[in-house]
Structure 1
Amino acid sequence: MIVESGVPEGDRPRTGKAAKANEVRVTTPYMTKYERARVLGTRALQISMNAPVLVPVEGESDPLEIALKELAAKKIPLVIRRYLPDNSFEDWKVEELIVQE
Structure 2
Amino acid sequence: MTSTLETVPEYISRYLARRIYNRFQMIFWLSKSEENIDETDEAINSEDESGSVNENTAKILSRSLEIAIEQFRKVREGGREDITEKEFAEIDKECEIIRNREIITKDLSHEKVEITSKDDQIVIGPPILTRFEKARIMGARALQLSVGAPVFIEIPKNATTSLEIAMEELKQRVIPIVIKRTLPNGDYQNIPLAKFE
Q: Do they fold alike, i.e. is TM over 0.5?
A: yes
The CA distance in 2 between the partners of 1:16 and 1:48, in whole Å, is 39
- Per the alignment, residue 21 of structure 1 pairs with 116
- 1:57 lines up with 2:155 in the alignment: yes
Aligned pairs, number: 84
Alignment of 1:1-40 (within 5 A): 17-23=112-118, 25-40=123-138
Which structure 1 residue ranges, 4+ long, deviate > 4 Å from structure 2?
A: none
- Per the alignment, residue 92 of structure 1 pairs with 191
Q: Which has the larger radius of gyration?
A: 2
Which is bigger in relative contact order (C-alpha 8 A, separation at least 6)?
1
- Per the alignment, residue 70 of structure 1 pairs with 169
The question of whether the paired residues in 1 share the 8 Å contact of 2:156 and 2:165 is answered with: no
Q: Deviations over 1:38-72 (max 9, x none)?
A: 00000101111111100001443411010011011
Q: Deviations over 1:11-63 (max 9, x none)?
A: xxxx7634211426242211000111000000101111111100001443411
The CA distance in 2 between the partners of 1:74 and 1:16, in whole Å, is 33
Judged with a 3 Å threshold, the aligned counterparts in structure 2 of structure 1 residues 58 and 16 are, in CA distance, closer, same or farther, namely same
Note the residue ranges of structure 2 that are not aligned, 5 or more in a row.
Answer: 1-109
The CA distance in 2 between the partners of 1:22 and 1:42, in whole Å, is 28
- Greater fraction of residues in helix: 2
- Greater fraction of residues in strand: 1
SS in 2 for 1:56: coil
Identity of aligned residues (%): 33
Judged with a 3 Å threshold, the aligned counterparts in structure 2 of structure 1 residues 17 and 46 are, in CA distance, closer, same or farther, namely same
Judged with a 3 Å threshold, the aligned counterparts in structure 2 of structure 1 residues 47 and 27 are, in CA distance, closer, same or farther, namely same
